[in-house]
Structure 1
């Protein structure tokens, strides 16, 4: 880790748990960026599954 990261870790350890959780949430939110390529792949997969369902090629399971 860099010196800056080491300092941050040291400061974070001194924080109350509530503040640590706020930091975790902020970091995860920052890292969770949308990826257009993944969105495109999932949209295509959904279209294929829907087409397979409509054509009767995909078996279904009753909710009940």
Structure 2
């Protein structure tokens, strides 16, 4: 089986299985480092708790991108 055939078969999979394939391939390129992953998980949990408690408010992504575009406009 060549790469093109493999890709065609992968595309035919249900979305959940395609996500698993993609995740597995990405992990093979960038192997996880458990200590860093644990720190990111802790940070994500902290940020989610802040959002849920109302301590911070989410900023819509489009607003963020618009500010970046304005800031770096030339």
Q: TM-score of the superposition, structure 1-length normalised?
A: 0.45
Structure holding more helix per residue: 2
Structure showing greater Rg: 1
Higher relative contact order (CA 8 A, sep 6+): 1
> TM-score scaled to structure 2, two decimals?
0.40
